[in-house]
Amino acid sequence: MKRVDDFRLKLGGKELVPIITGGMGVDISTAELSLVAARLGGIGHISDAMVPTVSDRRFQTRFVSEKQKKFKYNVANRDKTDVHFDLARLAEATRLHVGRTMEAKKGDGLIFINTMEKLTMNNPRETLRVRLSAAMDGGIDGITLSAGLHLGSLALVQDHPRFRDVKFGIIVSSLRALALFLRKTARLDRLPDYIIVEGPLAGGHLGFGLDWAQFDLRHIVDEVIGYLKQESLDIPVIPAGGIFTGTDAVQFLETGSAAVQVATRFTVTKECGLPAKVQQEYFKANEEDIEVNMISLTGYPMRMLKGSPAIGAGIRPNCEAYGYLLDGSGNCAYIDAYNRELDKHPEAEKISVMDKTCLCTHMRNFDCWTCGHYAYRLKDTSRRLPDGSYQILQAEDVFKDYQFSTDGRIALPPVEAAAT
């Protein structure tokens, strides 16, 4: 039986292990996690979600507190129109995060950054231009455009000196979305270098409606591969979402996929940014503990653990410090929902908002526990310790399990000395 290691992803003259770690935002896909994938010959993703916050944690910068201080006068105001990011400081934070990661890179692999285009930041076009440009300035190997694909994204940076050098990829969940993007970018003479097809079993935001269960990753991938062949386009196709074992990956690689993108199994590794106590919640989860809901203010369904503290929390909007999801007019669906509940219960010390959540604050605090459909199987990938908790894994072990496993097997981690 074949293994993932029997295949190679050919990208820009390089041959890579066909494993890509997903770009889980707000430093869940940390630099350390991406560096492991790159060292082992694959591709690691970092994320540009809330990079000023990430920079403050990692490098003791003060981007968030500076912004909060600047707009402190507006905290009690329901109108957030005035709350904008300093684009020069945003660029500095991005260059710092990307640059430090690239300086630490070893091995033959690559490091990409996942750019979530739904982070509109009260100035969608210009903040996206700055984030893309700064990532290229920082030396990133590739940029994956995700979360609300903007058809004009590449045109924003077509004059950047690295525009033809950096690998650009897109995440789509349908052939229709891919065809629209290719038509829009045709005039740039710049096709995407890779296409990630994310299916309905993925973690976090989904590119489907609440009818997500009616769709199938295999079917969408086959449609995309067939379309590219019909159009004589040689672009690597990379499925994502629900690929839990090396055997799952091989089934795609044998039928024309160039690589696979995987994320959920890396959430419970030491290199992942999730706090250890949250990782234990992932291990303990059963299938019925996972839901797809509409509490995201992006309008997309989102898969997460039902026990996520973000669900039903009625915290005050913290746009003055964060504000990553304010639209171009300074609006946000959570602000509307929060103020609605506040008006209903003006005397309440604490309110609950069930239909939306403040993604900025809760993602920043690791209180929105997004996960893939098969997160309930994570307990089968580790060892249970005498105290009832589970052994946290090493990213290298998970990567190599994908790379070398066969017959649907998952290799348990070596027993740690402390565990014995």
Residue 372 is predicted with a pLDDT of 98
How many residues in the chain?
420
Distance in angstroms (rounded) separating the CA atoms of residues 159 and 176: 28
Quick check: helix, strand or coil at residue 12?
coil
Q: Mean per-residue pLDDT for 21-50?
A: 97
**For residues 146-161, average pLDDT:** 87
Q: How many CB atoms lie within 10 A of CB 381?
A: 22
The pLDDT value recorded for residue 147 is: 80
What CA dihedral angle connects 151, 325, 133 and 14, to 10 degrees? Answer: -70
What integer pLDDT is reported at residue 420 of this predicted model?
A: 46
Pick the more confident residue, 151 or 11: 11
For residue 103, what are its two tokens?
A: 């300086």
pLDDT digits (tens, 9 = 90+) for 311-335: 999 999 999 999 999 999 999 999 9
**pLDDT exceeds 50 at position 390:** yes
Instruction: Please give the structure tokens belonging to residue 220.
Output: 């969408």
pLDDT of residue 282: 98
Task: State how far the Cα of 46 lies from the Cα of 117, in Å rounded to an integer.
Answer: 15
Report percent pLDDT > 90 for the chain. 95
98 within 8 A of 113, measured Cβ to Cβ: yes
Tell whether the model's pLDDT for residue 197 goes beyond 50: yes
Total-model pTM: 0.96
Q: Assess whether pLDDT exceeds 80 at residue 148.
A: no
Instruction: Report d(CA 244, CA 332) in Å as an integer.
Output: 35
Report the distance separating Cα 365 and Cα 367, nearest Å: 5
Tokens 């690597």 belong to: 236
From 147-161, 282-296, 347-361, the region with the lowest mean pLDDT:
147-161
Distant-in-sequence, close-in-space partners of 101: CB < 8 Å, separation ≥ 6: 31, 34, 35, 46, 111, 138
- As a whole number, the mean pLDDT across the chain is 96
